[in-house]
Chain A
Amino acid sequence: MSLKRNILDLRKRKEKVLQGGGEKAIQKQVAMGKLTARERVTSILDEDSFHEYDLFVEHEARDFGMEKKQLHGDGVIIGTGTIYGEPVCIFAQDFTVAGGSLGLMHARKITKIMDHALKMRVPLIGINDSGGARIQEGVNSLAGYGEIFFRNTLASGVIPQLSVILGPCAGGAVYSPALTDFVFVVENISKMFITGPEVIKTVLGEEISMEELGGARVHSEITGNAHFYAQSEYECFEQIKKLLTFIPWHNGKKAKAFPPKPPKPEYKIEEIVPADPTQPYDIRNVIKAISDDSDFFEIMENFAKNIVIGFGRMNGETVGFVANQPMVLAGVLDCDSSDKAARFIRYCDSFNIPIVTLEDMPGYLPGVDQEHMGVIRHGAKILYAYSEATVPKITVIIRKAYGGGYIAMNSRHMKADFMFAWPTAEIAVMGPEGAANIIFRKEIMNAEDPEAMRKEKVAEYKEKFANPYVAAAKGYIDTVIEPEETRNMLLHSIEVSNNKVDRRPEKKHGIPPF
């Protein structure tokens, strides 16, 4: 007897599953401006590289009429494939099947591919598009979420975890993305919240749309939940692929090296930065002036814009940039920017990515709202993250490095490997105006012309302390460099730090000021 019949039977079964929630549901999905789960997976992965598992999985729910319903693949697709030829694990919730709702078997499929990703040390990409828990499955569905969160935590810092929000992601479901390294959102498509507009309306009588409550913009600008914002799904997929070129496949590896390229000549480092420390400029132009091909891949570009984080390459190798942004809020540190930078520093440290810190900031943001929001607790995160990090850490002080900010921004005292300063650097306990007002208070008060005396004393303080040489005299700065030398000094210091060994006391884990 030939195998033909069995093969035809298999094909027929597969075909049925591949229809997902069926023609009507797919039409609805398309009408919402969304791609189907399968289209998404195949668009992200290399062509024809996707291999699917668990497509014949069926749910076991026996209540509320569920026993009569067949849900293809139980509303989620899992599998493996490649991106730029390198293996990845992926899952995609299928909104066309019971709204992508998460039941026991749906969750088991996800945890299966998560376990595989962790064991095989490959990145995990999760596409979220789900109405939430499958209510009919009760506590089984909660158990499913719990098992996913636990694995997210285990895999954290071992393999990269990317969450792509391409539909609703509500209630408990939001905590899986929140536990992962990078969250991608798309305008008009992504919706994340703990309690939706319906509940808010019932409880509070407040009317708010899903988009206003937890849309892509909200999470990339206000909450800081999202790391990458895109206008379309395809733009989002390009961001995913670009990110993966910068990061290693697991924490035992380095990111892939690319052929070195010089920065583009239009970024002239000396012309970017004004000499007057109260005048703004875009720090991203400095990053572009020193990184390979002037290619800077910014992360969280719309959140806490007073600090800039992201990846670039130097001599072909990935580096993580952390830079104060004088163009926004004068580059101060505050609650949000501390959160943003600290998490990124820990990412780089986990994944063997050297950190280059560019410093130009007047200190922590003063104000009651900051103090009451916990700027002490949040600000401490930066100190913790830098101190804890053992990857090569290099700092360039461009202009202002005042007070607590000087210490926090990867100073020698946080064990920076190399500390460079431009001749424009001002390393001092605070800005000249504030310092002069305190030190020379009596002289200013008793002077015939207090304003003239104040100006004189500010100038005196500036002359004496607003420079890099006091810090250099103590060895806190390794050398004062010309702006044009910055890239070469960085290339060299990264190169000589290549075999860095720096151990911290053995412990189960620290207690960072979360």
Chain B
Amino acid sequence: MENLKEFNVDGTVYKTEVTKKFENRKAWERPNPKHLKSFIPGTIVEIFVKEGQEVKAGESLMILEAMKMKNQIEMPFDGVIKKIHVEEGVKVPNKMLMVEIE
């Protein structure tokens, strides 16, 4: 037994090894509604808005093509585009920050 660590379960501290998978787990973050993230890996084929532009809820911001499907990325609420982190033609992984809204 190597690398014994302290491990708390319901208030009791146990001596134990931990797995790689456990150590690599991601800490939970409260989702920020002003951050639009990709929901599937794919390619940004077209962007319809510019930074600083006012956009109404439901308007299309861009098209994210994935698995042969062209997905419209919609504005979730009325607001201003603060920053766009992607360009037309780039490939995005899943859960990548694409647009910040104000």
Residue positions of A touching B, CB distance < 8 A:
203-206, 221-222, 278-282, 304-306, 326-332, 336, 362-363, 365-369, 372, 402-403, 430-434, 437
Task: Tell me the bound Cα distance from A304 to B21 in angstroms.
Answer: 9
Task: Tell me the bound Cα distance from A305 to B93 in angstroms.
Answer: 31
Q: Which residue of A lies closest to B17 (CB)?
A: A328
Asked if B10 and A366 make an inter-chain contact with CB atoms under 8 angstroms apart, the answer reads yes
Asked if B19 and A330 make an inter-chain contact with CB atoms under 8 angstroms apart, the answer reads no
Asked if A278 and B91 make an inter-chain contact with CB atoms under 8 angstroms apart, the answer reads no
Chain B residues, Cβ within 8 Å of A331? 16
| Cβ-defined partner of A327 (8 Å) among B17, B21, B41 | B17
Task: Tell me the bound Cα distance from A281 to B15 in angstroms.
Answer: 10
Q: Which residue of A lies closest to B92 (CB)?
A: A204
Stretch at the interface among B1-9, B54-62, B75-83: B1-9
Task: Tell me the bound Cα distance from A328 to B13 in angstroms.
Answer: 13
Chain A residues, Cβ within 8 Å of B1? 280-282, 327
Task: Tell me the bound Cα distance from A23 to B42 in angstroms.
Answer: 43
- Whether, in the assembled complex, B48 has its beta carbon less than 8 Å from a beta carbon of chain A, the answer is no
Chain A min CB distance to B66 (Å): 8
Task: Tell me the bound Cα distance from A431 to B20 in angstroms.
Answer: 26
Q: Within B74-98, which residues are at the interface with A (CB < 8 Å)? A: 91, 93
Count of A-B contacts judged by CB separation below 8 Å: 81
Asked if B10 and A330 make an inter-chain contact with CB atoms under 8 angstroms apart, the answer reads no
Chain B min CB distance to A250 (Å): 36
Asked if A362 and B14 make an inter-chain contact with CB atoms under 8 angstroms apart, the answer reads yes
Chain B residues, Cβ within 8 Å of A431? 9-12
| Cβ-defined partner of A362 (8 Å) among B4, B9, B66 | B9
Residue positions of B touching A, CB distance < 8 A:
1, 4, 7, 9-22, 25-26, 28, 41-43, 66, 91, 93
| Cβ-defined partner of B25 (8 Å) among A328, A369, A432, A433 | A369
On whether A330 and B7 interact (CB within 8 A), knowing A221-B20, A305-B19, the answer reads: yes
On whether A203 and B42 interact (CB within 8 A), knowing A222-B21, A329-B22, A330-B16, the answer reads: yes
On whether A279 and B15 interact (CB within 8 A), knowing A203-B41, A329-B7, the answer reads: yes
Task: Tell me the bound Cα distance from A363 to B16 in angstroms.
Answer: 15
Further pairs besides A203-B41, A278-B13, A329-B19: 5, Cβ < 8 Å: A204-B41, A280-B1, A326-B16, A327-B16, A330-B14
Chain B min CB distance to A136 (Å): 23
Task: Tell me the bound Cα distance from A222 to B23 in angstroms.
Answer: 13
Task: Tell me the bound Cα distance from A228 to B7 in angstroms.
Answer: 29
Asked if A330 and B9 make an inter-chain contact with CB atoms under 8 angstroms apart, the answer reads yes
Asked if B10 and A430 make an inter-chain contact with CB atoms under 8 angstroms apart, the answer reads yes
| Cβ-defined partner of A363 (8 Å) among B10, B18, B20, B42 | B10
Q: Point out which of B14, B21, B25 has the most chain A C-beta atoms below 10 A from its C-beta.
A: B14
Chain A min CB distance to B36 (Å): 19
Chain A residues, Cβ within 8 Å of B12? 278, 362, 431-434
Task: Tell me the bound Cα distance from A365 to B19 in angstroms.
Answer: 13
| Cβ-defined partner of B9 (8 Å) among A279, A282, A366 | A366
Task: Tell me the bound Cα distance from A304 to B9 in angstroms.
Answer: 17
Task: Tell me the bound Cα distance from A203 to B43 in angstroms.
Answer: 7
Asked if A204 and B91 make an inter-chain contact with CB atoms under 8 angstroms apart, the answer reads yes
Chain A min CB distance to B72 (Å): 19
Chain A residues, Cβ within 8 Å of B42? 203
Q: Which residue of A lies closest to B26 (CB)?
A: A369
Q: Can you list 25 A-B contacts (CB < 8 A)?
A: A203-B41, A203-B43, A203-B66, A203-B91, A205-B91, A206-B93, A280-B16, A327-B17, A328-B17, A329-B16, A329-B17, A329-B18, A329-B19, A362-B9, A362-B14, A363-B9, A369-B25, A369-B26, A369-B28, A431-B9, A431-B10, A431-B11, A432-B12, A434-B10, A434-B11
Q: Which residue of B lies closest to A336 (CB)?
A: B21
